[in-house]
């Protein structure tokens, strides 16, 4: 009986039921998307970072570019090794169809090991053909398009060394952008050795990289130590082939703004669900009253309403779960990579569904509190007991939020978790204050002589549904503004970074006795820096550790590379880097903010397994790199790690591409790899850009969610006021004026919500920036006024246009049946 | 002809649902003169309410014409119809006549507010109407705080404050008990006699139709001769 009654009540207002289910489903989908974002970005960056090394654990390489690895056999005798995959990797110039040459990375493998590290997915051609002929190679679809190649095409590749020996290759496979080809900058060409790629270095089957995968259960560190102890590899580097710690740091850094915003999105989803149930309170009370009169007990009422809510919540959660997995993977495929397989975290999906179900069920209990707290008559007429609790709550919340904001920003070390709490409090404050603000605005609008504005004013001031919708709008607008601001700021910081690098050229494959004057004599080169650029781990007092990049500076030269801001006076920083003694290094200021490290403190740098202690000498600041670099003098690197410079950075005073070309021609007799820095990090640039695009896409999706939730609220609310509209028409309001009135009602609600959301989004953005400290990121306060206003006004304009767009006028009528 | 305010000629109305055509009115012609009190009676489903909606310009006939206050309703725009409802005609439903979030007073003056009239211009006349209907003490109450009879009197007050020439009433006593129903009918009679307002009322009560000066019986979509 209870189930039937619940089901019948759901069928009475089908649109309301559908709207409620839709809101729950969207909330579940957004819960899942926001909290899966970090994992998805990690998967993506991991796949990109490991595209060369594939499933291997260790990589043996020479310490200098000239080193060749002669011995592979001893590795086969090692126990606990799943595979050993030697390869030859070298940069070369390939000729395009238009006659121009372009850098490519030639990689040669033993014939039976071509797909040991990665699987080659053929978009065209047959992978088996790669071993049929030593000239055969696989190229990516991107390279095939750029070079004008098809399966069977022949193209010339010139070695960078030995006077540019030219060798012909035939395209046997055009591969999908996956595996080896996921990081395709410069374009990757996969072939064989023993008469294949090795022809570029004289036709000998030599290798310069050996990839190793440890057997299951074998520690990678132990295996690396074993190999390093073997005399054949004593002078080589044995390191992990993909630094998962580095990948995690990068993924966390990129996804942090969205992960933090995820909390705000969760609040929005909860608000949406609560709103949709709150809008049906009057109906529920009237229904409960009728059932009570018919003899229903409280337990039966509870049973009926809970059954009804459980049915809706279950369907909503199930639809949301189906939507979430599919939509999110489609989104990732569309924005990040169409070839990567992204996994759906089943536990997270289940958690999101359960959360959506639980929130919906809990929200549905609110009408019951009203039902049980009122008499049958009060329920029938939906009598509101006068209460000032709303004002008291809003004032108390404002006071608490203000105090906690002050604590967060004034008490050292308070930022982080408290920032997240304050962000939630600010969202709640918006929801608590907006009904009063909207009523105030409506009263002002009601002074107009326009009948439409007067009717709108009556409705907004007196009807609860207007307050509830405005609460969803203010929370939604705040979240939308925060997401769009996050997107624009990360994108603009990234834009500044690429701008800073657009005049730089990286020259690698250089010997240690390189003469910088020769480079500076090349046309278009403004200055040249000989430097060390290595990944390292840095540890601070208290055990905190992170991944960083060591920039080895020749004297204070590195300071000219990027636009650093000086926290420690520039003269002192220069002294530190130019000093002939001591062990001082220069760190990014974020290290001070995040880890409490000060000048004079000790830190430990770990490079290639060697750990050395240094003293913090000073701080500089750089917005994009944000803690991911350490400036160390080359003297110190040589003393502590025996590292010598291996990269020349050129700063061009004209187009970097043409200057790189000039450098290549000037040094055509040497095995230099000279490319614009932007080109060298093309894949990094593309991958970060893709992640930012995903952030942007999510911002748009969330905007749609806010809009749909508000629309669902409008649908439910209007279903309860159909007769009122009929009465207004009966009293002489024209259909046009009624439409204008409903539009004005929307405008008053959303514009007030917008103003409030904008004001509160400023401290909320500060909280968001502060909360990034939880992810090891430090930024000063940032806000993009125009982006926030544009995003907020766009949603507002859409909401104002709803009565027109959805043809409210067509359904106006005075008929009663 | 000079005092004729409503004229319906061969009015037909049919509805189509699931390819099934239901002819509710099969050709009704009638007229109402100034100050007349006409009752339309008939069984449930006979088409009397549909006829009232058509005559009041709330619905449109499938065939035939309705001329209200000298204007053919087929050619009256939505804006002009709304203006007529604010100034010349009124409509009272069986129940739910009032906007729930407005007080009784705000409900009563709603057509005047919508017509952009100044309160000082209508304050006295509204007060007089409220006194006339005996609701002056309840003006600050919301509809849900009023009894059914009081709500209906507020609806009548709203219908009267515009000084209309005709009021359309759809079973105005249908939701009231016998005693309150009789009170409302007495009021309607008083309104008709003292204010010379024409009333066109749909009812299924023979007792209440007796208050009218003329009774039109609808049966199976036609006026029973």
**Minimal-distance CA residue of chain A relative to B106:** A458
Nearest to residue A775, comparing CAs of A21, A42, A96? A42
> B83 vs A734: CB contact, 8 Å cut-off?
yes
> B93 vs A732: CB contact, 8 Å cut-off?
no
Cβ within 8 Å of residue A10, ≥6 positions away: A17, A308, A311, A312
Contact A656, A678 (CB under 8 A): yes
pLDDT tier at B69, thresholds 50, 70, 90: very high
- Chain A CB contacts of B82 under 8 Å are 729, 732-735, 737
The pLDDT score that the predictor gives to residue A761 is 93
Q: Where are the domains of chain A?
A: 2-45+247-495+686-811, 58-241, 504-675
Contact A729, B82 (CB under 8 A): yes
Residue B64 has pLDDT above 90, yes or no: yes
Residue B33 has pLDDT above 90, yes or no: yes
Considering only the beta carbons, identify the residue of A462, A463, A731 that sits closest to B111.
A731
> B58 vs A732: CB contact, 8 Å cut-off?
no
User: What is the rounded distance in angstroms from the CA atom of residue A817 to the CA atom of residue B14?
Assistant: 15
- Chain A CB contacts of B53 under 8 Å are 814-815
Burial class (CB within 10 angstroms; exposed 0-12, middle 13-18, buried 19+) of A272: buried
Residue A522: how many CB atoms within 10 A of its CB?
Answer: 19
- Chain A CB contacts of B96 under 8 Å are 723, 727
- Chain B CB contacts of A732 under 8 Å are 82-83, 85-87, 110-111, 114-115, 162
Cβ within 8 Å of residue A461, ≥6 positions away: A439, A442, A443, A446
Shortest distance, CA B108 to any CA of chain A (angstroms): 9
Q: For chain A, which residues lie within 8 Å of any Cβ of chain B, measuring from their own Cβ?
A: 381-383, 449, 451, 454-455, 458-459, 462-463, 723-724, 727-737, 813-816
Q: Is the peptide bond before A186 cis (omega within 30 degrees of 0)?
A: yes
Shortest distance, CA B121 to any CA of chain A (angstroms): 15
Residue A541: how many CB atoms within 10 A of its CB?
Answer: 12
> A737 vs B87: CB contact, 8 Å cut-off?
no
What average pLDDT does chain B have?
Answer: 89
Shortest distance, CA A478 to any CA of chain B (angstroms): 30
User: What are the Cα distances from residue B193, in Å, to A392, B77, B187?
Assistant: 55, 32, 10
The pLDDT score that the predictor gives to residue B1 is 45
Number of inter-chain CB pairs under 8 A, A vs B: 75
Cβ within 8 Å of residue A587, ≥6 positions away: A597, A603, A616, A618, A619, A620, A630, A631
Shortest distance, CA A731 to any CA of chain B (angstroms): 5
> A731 vs B115: CB contact, 8 Å cut-off?
no
The pLDDT score that the predictor gives to residue A137 is 93
Among A731, A738, A814, the residue to mutate for chain B (most B Cβ within 10 A): A731
> A724 vs B59: CB contact, 8 Å cut-off?
no
- Chain B CB contacts of A724 under 8 Å are 99-101
Domain B34-53+77-223 class? alpha beta
Consecutive 10-residue averages of pLDDT for chain A (817 residues): 70 78 85 79 80 87 60 83 89 83 86 89 90 90 89 86 76 89 83 85 75 88 86 79 72 72 77 79 76 70 85 91 83 72 81 90 81 70 64 91 92 84 92 92 89 88 82 89 83 71 82 80 85 83 80 80 86 89 89 85 84 91 74 88 83 84 76 76 69 78 83 80 86 90 92 95 90 76 87 92 89 75
Sheet arrangement for strand B198-203: B89-92, B166-170, B198-203, B37-42, B214-219, B222-223
- Chain A CB contacts of B50 under 8 Å are none
> B115 vs A732: CB contact, 8 Å cut-off?
yes
A677: alpha, beta or left, given left = phi > 0 and alpha = psi -120 to 50? alpha
Considering only the beta carbons, identify the residue of A381, A458, A732 that sits closest to B82.
A732
User: Could you tell me the end-to-end alpha-carbon distance of chain A, in angstroms, rounded to an integer?
Assistant: 29
What is this model's ipTM?
0.79
> B102 vs A458: CB contact, 8 Å cut-off?
yes
Distance of CA B158 to the CA centre of its chain: 11
- Chain B CB contacts of A745 under 8 Å are none
pTM summary value: 0.72
Shortest distance, CA A733 to any CA of chain B (angstroms): 6
Query: Which tokens is A650 given?
Result: 């050129």
User: In sequence order, what DSSP letters do the residues of A391-417 get, joined into one string?
Assistant: HHHHHHHHHHHHHHHHHHHHSTT-TTH
> A454 vs B162: CB contact, 8 Å cut-off?
no
- Chain B CB contacts of A463 under 8 Å are 101
pLDDT tier at B213, thresholds 50, 70, 90: very high
> A737 vs B82: CB contact, 8 Å cut-off?
yes
Among A732, A738, A745, A816, the residue to mutate for chain B (most B Cβ within 10 A): A732
User: In sequence order, what DSSP letters do the residues of A196-262 get, joined into one string?
Assistant: TGGGGGTS---BSEEEEEEPTT--HHHHHHHHHTSGGGTTSEEEESS-HHHHHHHHHHHHHHHHHHH
Considering only the beta carbons, identify the residue of B58, B100, B116 that sits closest to A814.
B58
Shortest distance, CA B3 to any CA of chain A (angstroms): 24
Q: Where are the domains of chain B?
A: 34-53+77-223
Per-residue HEC secondary structure of A614-678 comes to: EEEEEEEECCCCCCCEEEEEHHHHHHHHCCCCCEEEEEECCCHHHHHHHHHHHCCCCCCEEEEHH
Among B54, B92, B93, B110, the residue to mutate for chain A (most A Cβ within 10 A): B110
Considering only the beta carbons, identify the residue of B53, B114, B144 that sits closest to A732.
B114
User: What is the rounded distance in angstroms from the CA atom of residue A403 to the CA atom of residue A407?
Assistant: 6
Cβ within 8 Å of residue A772, ≥6 positions away: A256, A257, A260, A778, A779
Q: Could you report the per-residue pLDDT of B70-115, keeping only the tens digit for each?
A: 999 999 988 888 889 889 999 888 877 788 888 899 889 988 888 8
> B114 vs A733: CB contact, 8 Å cut-off?
yes
Among A378, A450, A730, A739, the residue to mutate for chain B (most B Cβ within 10 A): A730
User: What is the rounded distance in angstroms from the CA atom of residue B110 to the CA atom of residue B117?
Assistant: 10
The pLDDT score that the predictor gives to residue A662 is 82
Q: Could you report the per-residue pLDDT of B170-179, keeping only the tens digit for each?
A: 988 877 788 8
**Minimal-distance CA residue of chain A relative to B99:** A724
The pLDDT score that the predictor gives to residue B224 is 82
- Chain A CB contacts of B170 under 8 Å are 816
- Chain A CB contacts of B162 under 8 Å are 732
> A732 vs B113: CB contact, 8 Å cut-off?
no
> A732 vs B79: CB contact, 8 Å cut-off?
no
> B93 vs A735: CB contact, 8 Å cut-off?
no
């Amino acid at each position: 009986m209870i189930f039937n009654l619940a089901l019948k009540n759901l069928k009475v207002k089908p649109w309301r039921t559908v709207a409620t289910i839709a809101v729950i489903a969207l909330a579940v989908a957004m819960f899942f998307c926001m909290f899966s974002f970090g994992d998805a970005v990690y998967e993506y960056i991991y796949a990109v970072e490991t595209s060369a090394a594939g499933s291997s654990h260790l990589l043996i390489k020479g310490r200098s570019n000239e080193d060749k690895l002669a011995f592979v056999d001893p590795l086969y005798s090692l126990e606990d090794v799943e595979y050993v995959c030697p390869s030859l990797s070298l940069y070369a110039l390939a000729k395009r169809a238009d006659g121009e040459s372009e850098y490519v990375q030639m990689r040669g493998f033993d014939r039976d090991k071509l797909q040991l590290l990665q699987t080659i997915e053929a978009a065209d051609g047959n992978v088996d053909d790669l071993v049929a002929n030593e000239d055969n190679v696989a190229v990516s679809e991107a390279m095939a398009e750029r070079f004008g190649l098809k399966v069977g095409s022949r193209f010339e590749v010139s070695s960078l060394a030995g006077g540019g020996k030219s060798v012909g290759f035939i395209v046997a496979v055009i591969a999908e952008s996956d595996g080896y080809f996921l990081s395709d900058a410069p374009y990757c060409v996969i072939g064989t050795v023993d008469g294949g790629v090795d022809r570029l270095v004289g036709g000998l089957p030599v290798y310069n990289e050996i990839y190793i995968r440890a057997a299951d259960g074998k520690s990678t560190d132990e295996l690396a130590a074993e190999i390093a102890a073997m005399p054949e590899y004593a002078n080589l580097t044995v390191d992990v082939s993909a630094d998962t710690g580095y990948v995690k740091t990068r993924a966390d850094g990129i996804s942090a703004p969205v992960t933090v915003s995820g909390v705000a999105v969760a609040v929005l989803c909860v608000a949406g669900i609560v709103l949709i149930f709150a809008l049906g309170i009057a109906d529920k009370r009237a229904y409960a009253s009728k059932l009570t009169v018919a003899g229903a007990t409280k337990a039966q009422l509870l049973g009926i309403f809970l059954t009804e809510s459980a049915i809706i919540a279950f369907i909503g959660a199930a639809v949301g779960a189906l939507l979430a997995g599919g939509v999110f993977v489609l989104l990732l495929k569309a924005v990040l990579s169409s070839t990567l397989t992204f996994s759906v975290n089943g536990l997270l999906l289940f958690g999101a569904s359960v959360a959506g179900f639980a929130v919906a069920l809990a929200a549905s209990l609110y009408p019951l509190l009203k039902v049980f707290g009122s008499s049958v008559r009060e329920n029938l007429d939906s009598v509101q007991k006068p209460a000032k609790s709303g004002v008291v709550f809003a004032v108390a919340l404002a006071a608490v939020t203000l105090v906690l904001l002050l604590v967060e920003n004034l008490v050292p070390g308070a930022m982080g978790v408290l920032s997240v709490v304050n962000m939630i409090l600010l969202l709640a404050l918006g929801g608590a204050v907006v009904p009063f603000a909207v009523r105030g605005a409506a009263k002002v609008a009601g002074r107009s002589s326009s009948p439409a504005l007067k009717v709108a004013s009556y409705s907004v001031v007196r009807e609860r549904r207007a307050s509830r919708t405005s609460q969803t709008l203010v929370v939604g607008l705040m979240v939308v503004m925060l997401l769009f601001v996050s997107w624009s700021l990360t994108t603009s910081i990234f834009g500044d970074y690429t701008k800073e690098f657009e005049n730089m050229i990286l020259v690698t494959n250089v010997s240690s006795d390189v003469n910088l004057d020769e480079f500076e004599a090349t046309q278009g080169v403004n200055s040249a820096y000989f430097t060390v650029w290595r990944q390292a781990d840095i540890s601070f007092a208290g055990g905190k550790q992170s991944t960083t990049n060591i920039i080895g500076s020749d004297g204070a030269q590195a300071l000219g590379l990027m636009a650093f801001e000086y926290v420690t006076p520039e003269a002192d920083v220069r002294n530190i880097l130019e000093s002939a003694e001591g062990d001082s290094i220069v760190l990014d200021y974020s290290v001070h903010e995040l880890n409490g490290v000060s000048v004079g403190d000790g830190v430990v740098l770990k490079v290639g397994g060697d750990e050395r202690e240094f003293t913090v000498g000073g701080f500089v600041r750089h917005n994009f790199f944000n803690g991911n670099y350490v400036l160390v003098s080359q003297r110190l690197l040589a003393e502590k790690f025996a590292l010598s410079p291996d990269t020349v950075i050129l700063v061009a005073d004209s187009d970097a591409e043409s200057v790189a070309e000039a450098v290549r021609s000037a040094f055509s007799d040497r095995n230099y790899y000279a490319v614009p820095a932007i080109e060298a990090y093309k894949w990094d640039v593309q991958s970060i850009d893709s992640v930012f695009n995903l952030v942007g896409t999510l911002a748009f999706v969330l905007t749609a969610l806010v809009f749909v939730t508000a629309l669902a609220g409008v649908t439910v609310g209007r279903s309860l006021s159909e007769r009122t509209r009929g009465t207004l028409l009966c009293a002489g309001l024209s259909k046009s004026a009624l439409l204008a009135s409903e539009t004005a009602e929307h405008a008053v609600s959303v514009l007030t919500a917008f103003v409030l959301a904008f004001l509160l989004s400023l401290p909320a953005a500060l909280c968001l920036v502060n909360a990034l400290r939880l992810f090891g990121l430090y930024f000063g306060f940032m806000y993009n006024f125009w982006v926030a206003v544009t995003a907020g006004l766009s949603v507002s304009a859409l909401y104002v246009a709803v009565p027109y767009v959805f043809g409210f006028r067509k359904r106006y009528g005075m008929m009663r049946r | 002809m000079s005092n004729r305010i409503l004229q319906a000629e061969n009015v037909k109305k049919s509805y189509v649902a699931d390819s099934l055509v239901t002819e509710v009115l099969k050709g009704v012609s009638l007229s109402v003169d100034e100050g007349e009190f006409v009752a339309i009676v008939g069984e449930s489903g006979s088409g009397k309410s549909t006829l009232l909606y058509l005559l009041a310009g709330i619905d449109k006939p499938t065939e035939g014409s309705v001329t209200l206050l000298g204007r053919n309703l087929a050619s009256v725009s939505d804006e002009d119809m709304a203006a007529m409802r604010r100034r010349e005609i009124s409509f009272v439903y069986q129940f739910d006549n009032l906007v729930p979030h407005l007080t009784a007073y705000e409900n009563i003056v709603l057509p005047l507010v919508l017509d952009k009239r100044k309160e000082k211009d209508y304050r006295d006349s509204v007060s007089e109407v409220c006194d006339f209907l005996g609701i002056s003490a309840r003006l600050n109450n919301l509809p849900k705080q009023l009894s059914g009879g009081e709500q209906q009197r507020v609806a009548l007050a709203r219908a009267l404050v515009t000084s209309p020439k005709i009021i359309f009433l759809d079973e105005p006593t249908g939701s009231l008990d016998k005693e309150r129903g009789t009170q409302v009918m007495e009021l309607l009679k008083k309104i008709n006699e003292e204010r010379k307002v024409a009333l066109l009322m749909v009812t299924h009560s023979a007792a209440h139709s007796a208050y009218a000066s003329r009774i039109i019986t609808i049966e199976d979509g036609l006026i029973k001769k």
